[in-house]
């Protein structure tokens, strides 16, 4: 197993946790927003990469996109977790 594999697995699990939290807090109806954001970020990153390097190297492209998504998803995770926690506390204490 290469040395980077645990980090890849960790990021994959983190991305899954964010999507699950998003689904739990805002229901299935808004899940498409999360997926659309990820796809748009991927498309913009690919366009930028192609303009800068003029040659697409799939391995480097995927690695860079994976890192960028991790950086962008971290604040989303914190916001969704905080929102879910606070709304749960309000629900718990109001009843």
Q: Above pLDDT 90, what percent of the chain? A: 5
Nearest of 4, 1, 25 to residue 77 by alpha carbon:
25
Contact 18, 73 (CB under 8 A): yes
Give the mean model confidence (pLDDT) for residues 31-48.
84
| Residue 25: per-residue pLDDT | 74
Give the mean model confidence (pLDDT) for residues 22-29.
72
| Residue 43: per-residue pLDDT | 92
């Amino acid at each position: 197993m290469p040395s980077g594999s645990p980090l890849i697995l960790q990021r994959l699990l983190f991305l899954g946790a964010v999507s699950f939290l998003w689904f739990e807090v805002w229901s299935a109806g808004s899940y498409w927003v999360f997926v659309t954001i990820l796809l748009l970020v991927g498309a913009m990153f690919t366009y930028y990469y192609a303009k800068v390097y003029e040659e697409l190297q799939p391995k480097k492209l995927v690695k860079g996109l994976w890192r960028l998504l991790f950086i962008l998803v971290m604040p989303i995770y914190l916001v969704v977790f905080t929102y879910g926690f606070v709304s749960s506390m309000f629900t718990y204490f109001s009843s």
